[in-house]
Amino acid sequence: MADKKKKLTKMQEVFVNLMVYQDLTQTDCAHRAGFKNPEVIASRMMNSPEYEHVQERIRQMKALQRKKYDITFENVASKLATIRDAAASDGSYGPAVNAEIARAKLGGLMVDRKEVRFGKIDSMNREQLEQRLNELLEQNQVKVINGEAVRIDQPEEDLEEDDDDSEESGQ
């Protein structure tokens, strides 16, 4: 009972607000709230009985948010099912499938997986980079003449004229 009477410190209040209103990890919330060891204190505030008053405040504020926006699993699933059924009855199967996929994601049956890949260019030396650039130029039928990219299918006369113009302007 004594825990319920505990008041939040200013830093705990900031932590709670960040947890409820921002899309941050608990460690990020603790860091932004100004705690010295954010990993440790965030874990304690979210799990330790010593900080039950913080956990309760987070639950209360999240409940207010859910009530304000009427966001519950059941309501969202029901609305998506309604959208799916309306789309399917109209013969709009694409939107019906999308609504069903959204319901599956909501229920945790499907997960979006995205991979961020970094190109090899960072790990290439100059020779490898030039070789790869030449391969790409060949694939796309492009030559570099006097610093300009020119399509190979362009008539040779045009290329010669371009060479003459650039030589004259270079002198």
Q: Taking a C-beta distance cutoff of 8 angstroms, is the pair 46, 26 a contact? A: yes
Asked, for residue 14, whether it belongs to a domain, the answer is yes
Alpha carbon distance 88, 135 (integer Å): 49
What are the tens digits of pLDDT across the range 86-107?
988 998 888 888 888 888 888 7
Read off the pTM: 0.43
Alpha carbon distance 60, 66 (integer Å): 10
**How many domains are contained in the chain?**
3
61 and 34 in a common domain: yes
Domain with 165, as residue range(s), is 120-170
What are the tens digits of pLDDT across the range 36-68?
999 999 999 999 999 999 999 999 999 888 787
